Amino acid sequence: MILPTITRFALAPATVCLALASVLIDGPPPAAASQQHVCGRRLYLRNCAPCHGDSGLGDGPGAALVDPAPRDFSQVRFRLVSTDNGIPTRQDLFDVITHGIVGSAMPPHEHLSLEERSALVDFVRGLTRARRAEVLQAHAAENGESLPFEVALEQVHLEPGASVALPPLVPSTPELLAEGRRSYVMHCAPCHDEDGRGRSRTDLLDERGRPIFARDFTAGILKGGTSRLDLFRRIRCGMPGSPMPRFEAPERESWALLHHVESLIQPGAKERLTQVHTVFRPERVEGRLDADPAAAVWNEVSSRWVAVAPLQWTDERVDGFHLQVARDESSVGLRLVWEDSTPWAGGENVTPDTATVRFSLFEDPQFFCPGREGESAEIWQWQTDLGDYRFEPLGVVVESRHEDGRYELVFLRELEKLPERVGMSEEGVSVAFELRNGAAGDSDRSQNLTVWHRLAE
């Protein structure tokens, strides 16, 4: 299925920019004067509001599609903090914006400039304070009292506490690992399971009463990272708004527990799940490209791993795929290979397995709705219920096969018409991928997205 469209998405007017953050945040204005021209509200509306909502209440148009749900800033309950009072520092927020959160649909934004990410941090802090002040006003009204907004703002305290630092290293030994396992079984296994997979508890709820699973250590799905400092802070600080409590222990027991948790994490697990904005350049091949996924020509082309993030983290999610990009004199080809042990077998009310490639002429398209659809210039889509096909107007051929528990799929497009629309120019285009595993259930639960990458010659 080919959906060639060019649609522009208009942002809401950015009537309030960085000034909002300057008014609402205690302390000095943003550190760098050069960032005064950066509009935090405009950045927020484009990059954050689709999930977090225009007002930061976690009620954006895409919020109902993602699990875990986006933060409601009015609750001042940020998951990833490094302080002893649960209030995040600017650096905590900056790190989350930069790296995203593995284990959620929150993507990384390392492609934004330092000034842009700093402006987003300040705007989110200002938005949080404003929304919290409104909550205090509502509580006062329930008690028959009047609380002016300016007074409510003064009652909102967002000063971070002391930073939690890693204690002096206690080296791992068999004895210390054994101590760590005993501590883990006592304090952590009731939620995370003794094997670290965290699948047995189905009664866990977040602060808003929504179902939540414990982290699966073995899969590397740790929202705050897998470094020793990251792990120690999650243990010591907990995760506000979730069932994960703070846990303080003597230094030796803390290191014993940390070493045991480290032993549960498979090497390379985090790297496999981390999305990184990448520029893909097609490799030139001798002879002609072939749409057959098993064609020998694809043996000449190098492969890269591309991580994806599911909108809803289920056991049937797709972690990523191997991508090959090549071209000959007259066509460009993309070969995708991903694991799926349960190929679609048809039937009513069964979501088909699907692969989609989107091209956008925008340099930085929206990650999620509505821009992901509206800012796509050309879309290639294959799904199991429709099968392989050829789209004559653009000369697109799609062929697939399922073998040894994996899909192999080739999109091949002739370059006679509008080659610049699919990146065959020096400037290139933005490109994103989506995979659906129908075994996950409905179309929302089965959707897995990449960030927008670049494709250029």
At 282-307, the pLDDT tens digits run 999 999 999 999 999 999 999 999 99
- Residue 3's pLDDT band, with cuts at 50, 70 and 90, is very low
Q: Which of 180, 188, 163 is nearest to 243 (CA)?
A: 188
- pLDDT surpasses 50 at 236: yes
How far is the C-alpha of 25 from the C-alpha of 122, rounded, in Å? Answer: 8
Reported as a single tens digit per residue, the pLDDT across 156-170 is 999 999 999 999 999
- pLDDT surpasses 70 at 264: yes
pLDDT at 36: 47
CA gyration radius for the chain?
24
pLDDT at 446: 80
Residues in CB range of 81: below 8 A, 6 or more apart: 87, 88, 89, 92, 160, 233, 237, 240
In whole angstroms, what is the distance from residue 411 CA to residue 331 CA?
10
Bigger pLDDT: 8 or 62? 62
Of 14-23, 114-123, 162-171, 375-384, least confident by mean pLDDT is: 14-23
- Residue 13 DSSP SS3: coil
pLDDT at 196 over 60: yes
Q: How many CB atoms sit inside 10 A of residue 32's CB?
A: 12
Burial per residue of 190-203, b for 16 or more beta-carbon CB atoms within 10 angstroms, e otherwise? ebbbeebbbeeeee
Per-residue model confidence (pLDDT) at position 304: 97
Place of tokens 């082309």: 301
Pick the CATH number of 18-155 from 1.10.600, 1.10.760, 1.10.10, 1.10.3470: 1.10.760
Taking residue 51's Cβ as centre, other Cβ atoms within 10 Å add up to 26
For residue 356, give the nearest of 292, 298, 443, 290 by alpha carbon.
443
Looking at per-residue pLDDT, the higher value among 95 and 315 belongs to 95
- Per-residue pLDDT at 77: 85
| Side-chain half-sphere exposure of 448, counting CA atoms within 13 A | 29
Query: Is the bond preceding residue 68 a cis peptide, omega within 30 degrees?
Result: yes
Mean pLDDT for the stretch of residues 413-442 = 92
Is beta strand 304-307 parallel, antiparallel or unpaired with respect to 320-327? antiparallel
Dist. CA 436–CA 438, nearest whole Å: 6
- In CATH terms, are 18-155 and 174-271 the same topology? yes
Full DSSP string of 344-374 = ----TT-PPPEEEEEEESSSS--SSTTHHHH
Q: Which of 144-153, 262-271, 415-424 has the lowest mean pLDDT?
A: 262-271
What would the pLDDT profile of 19-56 be if each residue is shown by its tens digit?
333 233 333 334 443 444 589 999 999 999 999 999 99
CB atoms within 10 A of CB 367: 26
Report domain extents, the chain. 18-155, 174-271, 275-455
pTM for the model: 0.86
Distance CA 426, CA 430 (A): 13
The residue among 35, 15, 58, 52 whose CA lies nearest residue 117 is 35
Please enumerate in sequence order all residues whose Cβ is within 8 A of that of 258, keeping only pairs 6 or more positions apart, or say none: 180, 228, 231, 232, 235
CB 452 within 8 A of CB 275: no
Residue 355 has pLDDT above 70, yes or no: yes
Q: What's the gap between Cα 275 and its chain centre?
A: 7
Point out which residues pair with 391 in neighbouring strands. Answer: 396
CB 204 within 8 A of CB 243: yes
- What phi, psi does 153 have (nearest 5°)? -60, -40
Residue 349's pLDDT is what?
65
Question: Mean per-residue pLDDT for 365-370?
Answer: 84
What superfamily does domain 174-271 belong to in CATH?
Answer: Cytochrome c-like domain (1.10.760.10)
Predicted confidence (pLDDT) per residue in 50-101, tens digit: 999 999 999 999 998 898 889 998 888 888 999 999 999 999 999 999 999 9
Position 258, amino acid: L
Peptide bond into 370 cis (omega under 30): yes
Alpha helices in 144-297 (DSSP H): 149-155, 174-187, 189-192, 228-237, 251-264, 269-273
DSSP 8-state assignment for residue 311 = S
Average pLDDT along the chain: 88
Residue 292 exposed, middle or buried by CB count within 10 Å (0-12, 13-18, 19+): middle
- Residue 37: the pLDDT is 57
Q: What does the DSSP 8-state code read for residue 164?
A: P
Each residue's pLDDT tens digit, 130-149: 999 999 999 999 999 999 99
Q: 315 pLDDT exceeds 80?
A: no
State the pLDDT at residue 1: 54
Tokens of 414: 């002739």
Query: What is the CATH class of 275-455?
Result: mainly beta
User: Are residues 350 and 442 in contact, defined by beta-carbon separation less than 8 angstroms?
Assistant: no
How many Å apart are CA 29 and CA 64, to the nearest integer? 35
pLDDT of residue 341 exceeding 50: yes
The mean pLDDT value for 385-392 works out to: 93
Helix, strand or coil, per DSSP, at residue 457 = coil
Q: What is the pLDDT of residue 24?
A: 32
Count of CA atoms in the C-beta half-sphere (13 A) of 323: 24
Q: What was the pLDDT predicted at 16?
A: 34
Packing angle, helices 251-264 and 228-237, rounded to 10: 120
In the chain, the percentage of residues whose pLDDT exceeds 90 is 68
Question: Would you list the DSSP string of 248-261?
Answer: ---HHHHHHHHHHH
